[in-house]
Structure 1
Amino acid sequence: MNMPASDVLKTNSLSPNNFSHLEFNTRDLKPQLEYFSDVLGMPLVSIRWADKTESSVRAMLKLNEHAMISFLCTLRTPSEVELGVTHSENPGDATTTGTVQHTALNVDSIEDLLAIRDRIRSRGVHCVGPMDHGFCQSIYFLGPDSLALEVATLTTDDMTQWIDPNVAEAIGLSAEEMIKLGR
């Protein structure tokens, strides 16, 4: 299943080209905004009533020119955290089906990764890593509401390393199915 790295990122003729925003629920918006602005350097770009109601607030922080991180604050949001069910306790732990296990953000270099790790730690936030995954290095930490976060940087442009045919086979994907998936 080895393919040229230039072919790995090719997609179907119609597919999304980036994400617009990732939105997380929170019961306390202010700590989220302070954390993502101070610790991760994301500026606030929007704060307003959500969906024209006065019972929910949506705030958005700029990730880059095309994408944002968004928080929806409503009193209906449960505040209980159950590690391993609602939230993972570490980057490899389980959460319930349909939830986000963790959110990974990108930086351009190992130097940037180490600099952001140091900034995170300087704010008193426990941060693990960098961990070498073979194709990228990552750091892991928790945000407010036990939001599991990662910052990563690619260490190779040979993305063929990302496909392990033995793993594909182990989860029941045939060679034909892999081709259908774009591999």
Structure 2
Amino acid sequence: MPRKLIKRYMPDHKKIREHKCLQFLGEHLHNPNLWHLNRRSVAGAFAVGIFCAFIPLPFQMIFAAVLAVLMGTNLPISVTLVWITNPITIPPMFYTTYKVGAWLLNIEPEHFDIELSVEWFMHEMSVIWEPLLLGSLLVGTICSLLVYFIVRGLWRLHIVRHYQRKRAKRHSKHLP
């Protein structure tokens, strides 16, 4: 069952509550949904994590943690899913969101070569920030909504099948 697998790798919530970087959240860290694995908190955590993964900001994990706390979703899952964006996935993700944003703004997409330097980043960001941000917000919102409903549906399907197996097993015991 996915719940047992997820629980095995979840950090201790007491240690997270006491972490000095999260003390500014105060009593919000005592919301039980931040630590429980139920359909609502896990689906919400997937939505928060995916949304934050598409936002082109540094410190996405902090943004995901704050959103998870404010929305009452599972905190560890929200923060972990931000790692979908990594050095391998960032270029195609953000190039796609840039193209979507440019299309929405009716702007001709700029052609640029990626160079990993601060100067390149600062110069290019001043040119592409509007379509990149708009595309990231739109694609992040759409993907997070899709993932939210997919996780809720799969969770429900899993529960229904579990009860059907239980019922069939119980029914087979009563047959001669």
**Normalising to structure 1: TM-score of the pair?**
0.24
Larger radius of gyration: 2
**Normalising to structure 2: TM-score of the pair?**
0.25
Which has the higher relative contact order, 1 or 2, with Cα contacts under 8 A spaced 6 or more apart?
A: 2
Structure number with the higher helix fraction is 2
